[in-house]
Amino acid sequence: MALLEVTDITKSFGKTEVLKGISFSLEKGNVLSIIGSSGSGKTTLLRCLNFLEEADGGIIRVDNKVLFDSNTQHALTDAEIRQNRLHFGLVFQNFNLFPQYSVLENVCLAPKLHAKERPDYKTNAKEICDEIEAKARKLIDDVGLSAKCDAYPCELSGGQQQRVAIARALAMDPEILFFDEPTSALDPELTGEILRVIKELATREMTMVIVTHEMQFAAEVSDQVIFMDDGVIAEQGTPDEVFVHPKNERTKAFLSRYNNQ
């Protein structure tokens, strides 16, 4: 049974149809890469899945539970949307760390706020917070930044900021972690450190969806690749199928543009 099942997602902005029926499914522990030219709708797809945009049509299921179904009448309430988002984590292209908080605080903030809703929070506040902090330190250590726990985002390089952003997303224990071009805002010499962290997560069976322009990396890390073109999935399959033996003409054209660069 697939962990994530996306069926026929559509989305328009005014008259422009950006997603024209996207369907795919993702097994637990697998990594899916989404490639495609600029404007093909990759970001919009991730935003719909994370409820930053509401899809016009389609169904989103996680673990067989329906999170979104455009056929049911009622619009999702804020509380339901929040509940749905907890299944997912999202790492942005431009990090979006909270500038007024230190690295440790960035990672702890959401878990601490979330813990306040626990029934035992009042009696165990201290222990719960200590636990969250210990876990945050572990995550920060995992991305290689234990020396920077008390630094502020403005004191970090882009690559370091993005690693904090990954730790911050992981701190909420998402079932699926989404990345939207996690290395595009970085100097080329800094992309390696991010890609290493993502690979490390892949070996630990983290379920991930990665929008990327790093073809080499996508080929190495993914179990499944989707090539998006103009709001549809033009081709999908294993890295070998998509990168080495593409069938679709548009995939071939896209890849040859990359290989010639």
Partner 1 sequence: MDFWTITQELLQGFGITCLLFAMTLILAIPLGLLFAFCSMSKFSVIKVPTKIFIWIIRGIPLMLFIFVIYYLPSLLADGNAALNIFNTIDLKMTMAAGSRELLWQGRFLAVLIAFVINYACYFSEIFRGGIESVSQGQYEAGYVLGMTKSQVFFKVVLKQVIKRIVPALSNEIITLVKDTALANAIAIPEIIKCAKDMASSQALIWPLFYTAVFYLLFVGIVTVLLSRVEKKLSYFKA
Ligand X SMILES: Nc1ncnc2c1ncn2[C@@H]1O[C@H](COP(=O)(O)OP(=O)(O)OP(=O)(O)O)[C@@H](O)[C@H]1O
User: Which residues make up the interface to partner 1 (CB under 8 A)?
Assistant: 50-52, 78, 82, 85-86, 88-90, 92, 94, 96-100, 109-110, 113-114, 152-154, 168-169, 172
Q: Does residue 226 bind ligand X (CB under 6 A)?
A: no
Interacting partner of 168 out of ligand X, partner 1, Mg ion, none (Cβ under 5 to 8 A depending on kind): partner 1
The span of 24-32, 40-48, 81-89, 158-166 binding ligand X (CB under 6 A) equals 40-48
Q: What is residue 150's DSSP assignment? A: T
Structure token pair of residue 151: 């630094």
Interacting partner of 40 out of partner 1, ligand X, Mg ion, none (Cβ under 5 to 8 A depending on kind): ligand X
Contact in structure between 43 and 180 (CB atoms under 8 Å): yes
Contact in structure between 128 and 105 (CB atoms under 8 Å): no
Contact in structure between 223 and 210 (CB atoms under 8 Å): no
Which residues from 57-116 bind Mg ion, rule CB under 5 A? none
In the complex, the smallest distance separating the C-beta of residue 211 from Mg ion, rounded to whole angstroms, is: 6
Q: Does residue 40 bind ligand X (CB under 6 A)?
A: yes
Interacting partner of 39 out of ligand X, Mg ion, partner 1, none (Cβ under 5 to 8 A depending on kind): ligand X
Q: Which is nearer to ligand X, 41 or 89 (CB)?
A: 41
Interacting partner of 191 out of Mg ion, ligand X, partner 1, none (Cβ under 5 to 8 A depending on kind): none
Q: Does residue 30 bind Mg ion (CB under 5 A)?
A: no
Tell the residue number behind the tokens 């626990």, with chain if given.
Answer: 118
What DSSP line would sit under 183-245, residue for residue? TTTS-HHHHHHHHHHHHHHHHTT-EEEEE-S-HHHHHHH-SEEEEEETTEEEEEE-HIIIIIS
Q: Which of 5, 22, 41, 194 binds ligand X (CB under 6 A)?
A: 41
Q: Does residue 13 bind ligand X (CB under 6 A)?
A: yes
Q: Does residue 44 bind ligand X (CB under 6 A)?
A: yes
Cα dist. 102→85, 106, 148, 165 in Å?
Answer: 24, 6, 9, 12
Residues linked to residue 21 through DSSP beta bridges, in sequence order: none
For the sheet with 65-69, list strands across it: 16-26, 4-13, 57-62, 65-69
In the complex, the smallest distance separating the C-beta of residue 117 from partner 1, rounded to whole angstroms, is: 10
Number of Cβ atoms within 10 Å of the Cβ of 167 = 24
In the complex, the smallest distance separating the C-beta of residue 205 from partner 1, rounded to whole angstroms, is: 22
**What is the total count of residues that contact Mg ion (CB under 5 A)?**
1
Q: Does residue 61 bind ligand X (CB under 6 A)?
A: no
Nearest to 101 by CA among 139, 163, 142, 150: 150
Contacts with ligand X by CB under 6 A lie at 13, 16, 18, 36, 38-44
Binding site for Mg ion (CB under 5 A): 43
